[in-house]
Amino acid sequence: MKRIGILTLALVLLLGLLATPVQAKPATFTVPYNQAQFQWRGISPFGTWTPSYSYLEYSTDSTFTLTGNVLHTAWSYSPLVTDLAGQSTVYTYDKKNDVWKEKEGTVGYKYVPGYGDYPIANYFRGYLKFDGTPSADSFVHGVAYQWVYLLAPQDATLTAPNTQYAQWDETMGAWLVGFSIYLWDPSVPVPNYNTIFPNPFIKPVPASNYNPLGL
């Protein structure tokens, strides 16, 4: 399972390659990989990563199922959140770039201890890459971008712990309270990642921009 701060990404992927024969039956396999993550949360000043939420080496794995010509994932959260919706998302194969691009993925929930009694919207972008047909041995690399928005009015008084340094986003009409980049590889990269907080800051629009930093 992918450990992502308070998140675990359970990848249940229905995969099909346009460039290779479609599998007649689903094939399930588990891929071990290293996860590096860089995160900012509203408990610390905007513009730098939050140290307690960021790390370079975490060994984990995900289970994949190959079938058809789309790729589905499901995000799960720990600690438990309420009103969880939209945790499934869809990837499609990009033949030109030979990657599985995540189409717009949005997860909604509430986490009152961290953000108060307002809905949260998580926007995900990214891709997965395999060397040929997806299998336990063919995973090459993956990237996910996550934006965390608090759906509260601009004039709201925010007092919850994770909203101390919230940033009002005029484009999204919501408070930015988190941003993350997750990098997945078969082993720990050498040298390891040194991903810089983006300046100017990137936003989850347009949704078609699945890899805005070229990672």
Domain ranges (residues) in the chain: 2-185
Q: What six digits make up the tokens of 176?
A: 């930015």
- For residue 68, the 8-state DSSP code is T
pLDDT at 7 over 70: no
Average pLDDT, the chain: 85
Confidence of residue 76 (pLDDT cuts 50, 70, 90): confident
CA of residue 44 relative to chain centroid, distance: 20
Dihedral-angle region of residue 173 (phi above 0 means left; psi in -120 to 50 means alpha; beta otherwise): left
Residues 6 or more apart in contact with residue 96 via CB below 8 angstroms: none
pLDDT tens per residue across span 96-116: 999 988 887 789 999 999 999
Q: What six digits make up the tokens of 20?
A: 């290779």
pLDDT at 133 over 70: yes
Alpha carbon separation from 173 to 22, 31, 135, 209 (Å, rounded): 42, 38, 41, 20
Least confident window among 20-29, 67-76, 86-95:
20-29
